[in-house]
Amino acid sequence: MTSEDIKNLILEIIKDIDDEADFEGLDPNQPLRDQLELDSMDFLDIVMELRKRHKLQIPEEDYPHLATLNSCVNYLQPLLKDV
């Protein structure tokens, strides 16, 4: 997957979780939770969707790597390189 594919994947998952999510003006370097008002359950839903869709096991200690859109790309790109 390319970095753009991963960004689109994350945004698609967020849209599935919160169909009112507004990505207009989203800063890829700022925390997604703050910008999109995601709570901890929403965040866990993102992790579960990544597991369900791509069989990724993301350890809890790695959750901070999923804080921003760009950090998601940096963390997930090696894991999804063959997808």
What pTM was estimated for this model as a whole? Answer: 0.91
pLDDT, position 28:
97
Mean pLDDT on 15-43: 94
Count of Cβ atoms closer than 10 Å to residue 6 Cβ: 21
Mean pLDDT on 48-59: 95
pLDDT, position 23:
94
pLDDT at 83 over 90: no
The DSSP line for 9-63 is: HHHHHHHHH-TT---TT--TTSBHHHHHT--HHHHHHHHHHHHHHH-----GGGG
